[in-house]
């Protein structure tokens, strides 16, 4: 399985969904017809949960079979696009030559010409991006983005649990994800020079939000 069952269970709590909705053989075959193949990891996600409505009510746009049908630009790219930033300034995708691999790397670009590594595998990308996107959809969330010092970032790492995946080079920053309950998340955005840290956070329940705030409410300055 591309994404651990325990994390799929966590996604249900984060997104407040009871059941996932997946794509049909017809939908999958259409994508395969366009691109020649799709990685097994991505196919598994599409079939299990790719059509889940809550996953689409987020800040950025997941590219789905219906989008490939109506947006011709997606068919012309030398990458199979997975996620498009809401203003189109960044997108992530799989190289066409990697589509025969079971779980290939995912790359990001801001100009459709220069692509840099975003995640080592499709499964890591999906896990990290689904978690990251959830922070924007939480009912209970921080009102601001907070700047952190390096010392404050170290405090977060000591107080919270870290997910074993992250996004690299998404809108020119890297993103690590933390939690201390099943329905809360904190995202730390950081640069490659180690002197740039920002965070924002939220939860799907007030209890989860308060538990997170109790741990990190004394950290960071509002931007």
* Residue in the block written with tokens 């997941």: 62
Average pLDDT, the chain: 93
**Cα–Cα dist 84/103, whole Å:** 20
The alpha helices in the chain, defined as continuous H runs, are: 5-15, 25-35, 40-48, 53-56, 65-70, 73-76, 122-135, 150-159, 206-216
Q: How many whole angstroms from its chain centre is CA 6?
A: 17
Is the pLDDT reported for residue 71 higher than 90?
Answer: no
Q: Where are the domains of the chain?
A: 5-132, 138-222
> Which residues contact residue 213 at a Cβ distance below 8 angstroms, ignoring those fewer than 6 apart?
none
Could you tell me if 182 and 10 are in contact, meaning their C-beta atoms sit under 8 angstroms apart?
A: yes
**Cα–Cα dist 155/87, whole Å:** 33
Split at pLDDT 50, 70, 90, the class of 19 is very high
Beta bridge partners of 146: 199, 222
Q: Region 190-196: what's the mean pLDDT?
A: 78
pLDDT at residue 4, as a whole number: 81
Is the pLDDT reported for residue 1 higher than 80?
Answer: no
Kindly give the interhelix angle for 25-35 and 40-48, rounded to the nearest 10 degrees: 150
Instruction: Give per-residue pLDDT as tens, 29-63.
Output: 999 999 999 999 999 999 999 999 999 999 999 99
**Cα–Cα dist 112/194, whole Å:** 27
Split at pLDDT 50, 70, 90, the class of 70 is confident
Low-confidence winner among 15-19, 72-76, 99-103, 196-200 (lowest mean pLDDT): 72-76
pLDDT at residue 74, as a whole number: 85
pLDDT at residue 88, as a whole number: 84
Q: How many whole angstroms from its chain centre is CA 143?
A: 21
Matching CATH number, 5-132, of 3.40.1580.10, 2.40.50.140, 3.40.50.300, 3.40.50.150: 3.40.1580.10
Is the pLDDT reported for residue 220 higher than 70?
Answer: yes
Low-confidence winner among 46-60, 97-111, 164-178, 188-202 (lowest mean pLDDT): 188-202
* Residue from 111, 197, 117, 107 nearest 152 by CA: 197
Could you tell me if 55 and 21 are in contact, meaning their C-beta atoms sit under 8 angstroms apart?
A: no
For the record, the structure tokens of 105 come out as 């790397």
Is the pLDDT reported for residue 182 higher than 90?
Answer: yes
Split at pLDDT 50, 70, 90, the class of 3 is confident
Q: Region 163-187: what's the mean pLDDT?
A: 95
Q: Region 11-32: what's the mean pLDDT?
A: 94
User: With left for phi above 0 and alpha for psi between -120 and 50, is residue 8 left, alpha or beta?
Assistant: alpha
Split at pLDDT 50, 70, 90, the class of 123 is very high
């Amino acid at each position: 399985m591309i994404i651990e069952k325990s994390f799929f269970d966590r996604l249900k709590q984060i997104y407040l969904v009871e059941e996932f909705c997946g794509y049909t053989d017809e939908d999958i075959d259409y994508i395969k017809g366009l691109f020649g193949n799709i990685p097994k990891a991505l196919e598994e996600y599409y079939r299990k949960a790719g059509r889940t409505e809550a996953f689409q009510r987020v800040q950025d746009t997941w590219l789905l079979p219906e989008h490939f049908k109506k947006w011709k630009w997606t068919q012309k790219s030398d990458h199979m696009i997975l996620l498009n930033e809401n203003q189109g300034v960044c997108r992530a995708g799989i190289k066409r030559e990697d589509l025969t691999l079971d779980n290939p790397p995912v790359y990001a670009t801001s100009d459709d010409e220069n692509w840099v590594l975003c995640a080592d595998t499709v499964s890591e990308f999906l896990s990290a991006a689904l978690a990251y996107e959830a922070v924007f959809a939480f009912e209970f969330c921080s009102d601001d983005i907070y700047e952190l010092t390096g010392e404050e970032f170290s405090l977060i790492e000591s107080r919270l649990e870290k997910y074993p995946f992250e996004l690299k080079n998404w809108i020119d920053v890297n993103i690590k994800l933390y939690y201390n309950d099943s329905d809360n998340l904190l995202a730390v955005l950081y640069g490659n020079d180690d002197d740039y840290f920002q965070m924002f956070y939220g939860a799907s329940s007030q209890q989860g939000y308060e538990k997170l705030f109790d741990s990190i409410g004394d950290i960071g300055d509002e931007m």
